[in-house]
Structure 1
Amino acid sequence: MKEFFYRPDNAWMGDVIPYYEDGEFKLFYLHGWRDNYREGFDQGWHLLGTKDFVNYREEGACKIEGGTGHILKVEDIYHMFYCIFPDGKQFACHAISKDLRTWEPIPEDTFGPDGEIYELADWRDPFVFWNEEEGQYWMLIAALAKGPTNRKGCTGLLSSKDLKHWEYREPLYAPKLHVGAHECPDLFRMGDWWYLIYSSYTGRFGTFYRMSRSLNGPWITPQEEAFDGRAYYAAKSVSDGQKRYLFGWNPTKDDDLFGWNPPKAPGKDYDTWDWGGNMVVHEIIQRPDGTLSVKVPETVNSAFAEQVPAKFEGIIGDWSITDDVLLCESPYAFAGCISQEELPDLCKISATVRFSETTQGLGIMLRADKGLDIAYYITLEPERSRITFRGPIMQTEEGGKTFPYDVELERPLKLMPDQEYELKVFIDRTICEIYVGGEVALSARMYDIQHGKLAVFVSQGTVEFSRLKIETV
């Protein structure tokens, strides 16, 4: 059975370059082979079609070897901008097509950084759009701006009248925050705001956004700048004319690139993150103040419609259990209850949660054992204003001795007592996608525990879980 969250057969999903036309999302992507499937590593462009992010039509290779870029249509010609990496250098490239399938590279349009405004190093992931105000095309590119420190990562800027001859300009956005280039730049307008998206692997790792009333800036950093956590990267967006969607990948943990994986660890949960994995699509939501959040696309949400029986029994604490509500008052201790049934390998868990003031933590456990000792914990922490994901070793003595951090994955989330929060968790074998109330998304991986039950818990407080359901496709 194929995974619900898409990846190609015997390969991995790399950066997605989304394009929308004629009622279909045409998803170009970097097709990532790994040596556990085939010798060598290939980043050729492939094409995938979908209307709902559930069913996909595979079109195969586009015969373009290179890195991330952008697709735009001018009159009846499609233009592909992408990047190549010959002899350790980086160049932007141009190809054209009349059908999105057969592409003709234009070698004379290949160019690199100028060495004056931009360093002769990073120069990749071009994004091209028509700037109506200036009456010419703008290209955004992942680059390094000249400067006195190593914090040179920027969103570079060029302009052109004909998509062939480009003028180097000062960076669109160069905040001197990142040592590495601002990867996979993306730009769009929604209402009165312009939004700039980029990904970074130095400092804080993830896909971020900035907002401005003008293409000339200033580019404002929102209070929460990321769309997801560490396990979501290289995301780019596209609109179908009504909604805008964000396409990124949830990385695997199959390679030991630097030899850092724990040699005595029995599993893979604490291995390093890879490049590429499975595609995950979020829907972008604009709040009244202009800031952005993400939620699960409705087509993905509604694909899980077959309800699975879920009866619960208390394990620790005094639980009131009915068909509709799981309620527990445990102001001074931990309390939990567990389902009688095993969780399916592919399922959606949904619930509405409410908690009392002074509650320290509450949440759900995935693939839990009967003693609630071994599980993946998803925890809402009101006093720290966050949601966290922790694997099973963090609950043990070995985890306490081994890891120098408090939590594996987290996202900021303001949590108020006596309010309802809708929690949705999608499980697809090793993949875990978590959404809270159309506000926060958190991607994760679960390797070492492959079977178990669903449990819910509260730590030092009162909690009510209502409308708790397990559904599959």
Structure 2
Amino acid sequence: MSSPVEQIPPHRKPIGSDPYRPLYHFSPPANYLGDPNGTIFWKGKYHLFYQYNPDGAFDNSRRMHWGHAVSTDLVHWDDLPIALTPTPGGPDRSGCWSGGAVNNNGVPTLIYYGHPEGNCIAMGDDELITWEKHPANPVIPYPPDGDSWRPFDPCAWWEGDRWYSISGGKLEGIGDTAFLCRSKDLIHWEYMHPFYISELDKAPESDCAVPDFFPLGDRHVLLFASHDRGVQYYIGDYADYRFYPKHHGRMNFGDFGVESGHLCAGFTLLDGRNRRIFFGWIPEGRRETVQRAAGWAGVMSLPRVLSLSDAGTLEVEPVPELTVLRRNHRQLSNLRMSPDTSIALDEVGGECLEILATFDPGDANALGVKVCCSPDDDEQTLLFYSPGDKCLVLDADRSSVNPDVVSRGVQRGPLELAAHEFLTLHIFIDRSVIEIFANNRQCLTKRIYPARQDSRDVHLFARGGTAKLKSIDVWDLAAIWDA
């Protein structure tokens, strides 16, 4: 059997051999990847568009194109030609920024922010390969001076006999919002009103960027990113063309930026099985100068299924299609975890792993898993549950001794277990990426960069009391790039 690097297509090999380049998370062959855009399920295939700078591995908003990849299984991806390119002298001459995709009576249509003039549309062929920008662009231009709304990062949907579109934005002195427009033909639009008013009176988000609005169960969800804290969402009610947020949640618990190493933007699609599938942009956590030299920057999260619990809260889990990558299964069960001890799991370590572990928390103050550990614990990343704080924790303070790594720190996401409820951690490690799901109710995401080749070990640990490992299953995961 060939090694994971040998399975990568030739055009990926020069950077595929980079020890920090993930092997089963999607990234383009080279250069800079940003926000997921226009994700759509079209004739049995999953299409992923994304912000892309063809000039190098760095963020340059004035050169943003739309990269494009396609998959039949949400696991293996084929690169397709660039979908959108800035038109010299056109309304998007300084960048094709974020937006969405719709099915316009059988015609695939992208709606996006064309910098600097406003929201634009482009129509595609049936294979979504060739795109033609509408001559009326920008179809949603900037309003006259004095109006408080603006076009930006649109998403759109069909309702009744019209199209509706929201543009992300903010209201000065109030906080994040979006602006609603409507149209009969996607070409001629009229502004209606602010789509929602932030109810985070004491701490509103800085803004609403890359908005994605969709029904989920018996509620509606507005997914968005703020330029301070990354991916957020509201769950609420939708009536009379207005959204009323009832619950606010976060999908990122770190800062925002191209050196943050956190989950900074997301977008979803509805697939043929009526599943709401989420994709998220995870930028690098290394210095930008190092990113440029590496020749690649940014990866997508694993596709996640979003749903609502019986209590109306968001549930998130990795798509089950990922099980096709499993290799070399190892399993342990019924281990007592004594207070303030660490249990090394022999023959379990690696750089591309899936770990599924279930614990009885007992009376421990903290319990979980250490991953990517060096034998002397000089490098380690801690993933654990803190019952007292009712938090899932990802501690990357000691994840790397590499001085080029600028994103470390601790993430804490709220998670409360019911009485006698077991803790289930579902962990994905892909070289420099970690995603940890807990009880399908919380997920933390982080870029780490172990510098030592021996930082591959996995340990269990408990603090302040005794816990019990009920079971742990570990698999090596194969690369997603076919030979």
The one-letter code sitting in structure 2 at the alignment partner of 1:137 is: W
Alpha-carbon distance, 1:340 to partner = 2.9
Is the CA contact 1:229–1:442 (under 8 Å) kept in the aligned structure 2?
Answer: yes
Alpha-carbon distance, 1:218 to partner = 5.2
Instruction: Work out the CA distance in 2 between the residues paired with 1:457 and 1:201.
Output: 36
Alpha-carbon distance, 1:176 to partner = 7.3
Instruction: Work out the CA distance in 1 between the residues paired with 2:469 and 2:438.
Output: 14
User: SS state of the match for residue 136, structure 2?
Assistant: helix
Of stretches 186-195 and 36-45 in structure 1, the one that deviates more from structure 2 is: 36-45
Number of the residue aligned with 1:281: 303
Whether 1:71 aligns to 2:98 is no
Instruction: Work out the CA distance in 1 between the residues paired with 2:400 and 2:287.
Output: 25
In structure 1, runs of 5+ residues without a counterpart are: 258-266, 269-273, 311-322, 397-402
2:35 to 4, 9, 15: 15
The one-letter code sitting in structure 1 at the alignment partner of 2:155 is: F
2:333 to 310, 321, 324: 324
The one-letter code sitting in structure 1 at the alignment partner of 2:133 is: P
Alpha-carbon distance, 1:289 to partner = 2.8
Number of the residue aligned with 1:123: 151
Alpha-carbon distance, 1:186 to partner = 1.1
1:253 to 285, 288, 307: 285
Number of the residue aligned with 1:378: 383
Whether 1:44 aligns to 2:46 is no
Number of the residue aligned with 2:90: none
1:81 to 108, 111, 117: 111
Number of the residue aligned with 1:189: 215
Whether 1:104 aligns to 2:136 is no
Whether 1:470 aligns to 2:467 is no
Higher relative contact order (CA 8 A, sep 6+): 2
User: Residue deviations 1:213-249, cap 9 Å, x none?
Assistant: 5354452242x51234432122111111421111111
Alpha-carbon distance, 1:53 to partner = 1.9
Number of the residue aligned with 1:262: none
Number of the residue aligned with 1:263: none
Alpha-carbon distance, 1:256 to partner = 4.2
1:24 to 45, 62, 78: 45
Number of the residue aligned with 1:387: 392
Number of the residue aligned with 2:320: 298
* TM-score relative to the length of structure 1: 0.81
Instruction: Work out the CA distance in 2 between the residues paired with 1:387 and 1:56.
Output: 31
Instruction: Work out the CA distance in 2 between the residues paired with 1:467 and 1:325.
Output: 6
**Residue 13 and residue 303 in structure 1: after superposition, are their counterparts in 2 closer, same or farther (change >3 A)?**
farther
User: SS state of the match for residue 426, structure 2?
Assistant: strand
User: Residue deviations 1:149-170, cap 9 Å, x none?
Assistant: 2x45321111112211111121
**Residue 368 and residue 283 in structure 1: after superposition, are their counterparts in 2 closer, same or farther (change >3 A)?**
same
Alpha-carbon distance, 1:304 to partner = 4.0
Alpha-carbon distance, 1:251 to partner = 1.6
Alpha-carbon distance, 1:387 to partner = 0.9
Alpha-carbon distance, 1:36 to partner = 5.0
Whether 1:352 aligns to 2:352 is no
Number of the residue aligned with 2:271: 240
Alignment of 1:122-201 (within 5 A): 123-132=151-160, 135-145=161-171, 147=172, 149=173, 151-175=174-198, 178=204, 180-201=206-227
Of stretches 409-418 and 109-118 in structure 1, the one that deviates more from structure 2 is: 109-118
User: Residue deviations 1:379-421, cap 9 Å, x none?
Assistant: 210010001111244999xxxxxx9x9x621211003454212
Is the CA contact 1:307–1:472 (under 8 Å) kept in the aligned structure 2?
Answer: yes
Instruction: Work out the CA distance in 1 between the residues paired with 2:359 and 2:156.
Output: 44
Instruction: Work out the CA distance in 1 between the residues paired with 2:470 and 2:265.
Output: 36
Whether 1:114 aligns to 2:143 is yes
User: Residue deviations 1:167-190, cap 9 Å, x none?
Assistant: 112110132755743111111123
The one-letter code sitting in structure 2 at the alignment partner of 1:325 is: N
Instruction: Work out the CA distance in 1 between the residues paired with 2:285 and 2:378.
Output: 24
Alpha-carbon distance, 1:277 to partner = 3.1
Number of the residue aligned with 2:465: 461
Whether 1:206 aligns to 2:234 is no
**Residue 14 and residue 40 in structure 1: after superposition, are their counterparts in 2 closer, same or farther (change >3 A)?**
closer
User: SS state of the match for residue 340, structure 1?
Assistant: coil
Of stretches 455-464 and 92-101 in structure 1, the one that deviates more from structure 2 is: 92-101
Is the CA contact 1:34–1:41 (under 8 Å) kept in the aligned structure 2?
Answer: no
Instruction: Work out the CA distance in 1 between the residues paired with 2:279 and 2:64.
Output: 17
Alpha-carbon distance, 1:114 to partner = 1.6
The one-letter code sitting in structure 2 at the alignment partner of 1:462 is: T
**Residue 215 and residue 304 in structure 1: after superposition, are their counterparts in 2 closer, same or farther (change >3 A)?**
farther
Alpha-carbon distance, 1:369 to partner = 3.2
User: SS state of the match for residue 464, structure 2?
Assistant: strand
Instruction: Work out the CA distance in 2 between the residues paired with 1:32 and 1:337.
Output: 45
Is the CA contact 1:228–1:440 (under 8 Å) kept in the aligned structure 2?
Answer: no
Whether 1:226 aligns to 2:250 is yes
Instruction: Work out the CA distance in 2 between the residues paired with 1:421 and 1:379.
Output: 10
Number of the residue aligned with 2:374: 369
**Residue 136 and residue 38 in structure 1: after superposition, are their counterparts in 2 closer, same or farther (change >3 A)?**
closer
User: SS state of the match for residue 302, structure 2?
Assistant: strand
Is the CA contact 1:304–1:348 (under 8 Å) kept in the aligned structure 2?
Answer: no
Instruction: Work out the CA distance in 2 between the residues paired with 1:394 and 1:255.
Output: 16
The one-letter code sitting in structure 1 at the alignment partner of 2:474 is: I
**Residue 129 and residue 394 in structure 1: after superposition, are their counterparts in 2 closer, same or farther (change >3 A)?**
closer
Is the CA contact 2:32–2:58 (under 8 Å) kept in the aligned structure 1?
Answer: no
Is the CA contact 1:118–1:143 (under 8 Å) kept in the aligned structure 2?
Answer: no
Number of the residue aligned with 1:444: 446
Of stretches 453-462 and 437-446 in structure 1, the one that deviates more from structure 2 is: 437-446
The one-letter code sitting in structure 1 at the alignment partner of 2:318 is: V
User: Residue deviations 1:399-456, cap 9 Å, x none?
Assistant: xxxx9x9x62121100345421221111110000101121111111111345231001
The one-letter code sitting in structure 2 at the alignment partner of 1:7 is: S
Is the CA contact 1:194–1:214 (under 8 Å) kept in the aligned structure 2?
Answer: no
Alpha-carbon distance, 1:5 to partner = 0.4
The one-letter code sitting in structure 1 at the alignment partner of 2:198 is: P
Is the CA contact 2:178–2:194 (under 8 Å) kept in the aligned structure 1?
Answer: yes
Instruction: Work out the CA distance in 2 between the residues paired with 1:394 and 1:429.
Output: 12
Number of the residue aligned with 2:19: none
Alpha-carbon distance, 1:144 to partner = 3.5
**Residue 41 and residue 446 in structure 1: after superposition, are their counterparts in 2 closer, same or farther (change >3 A)?**
farther
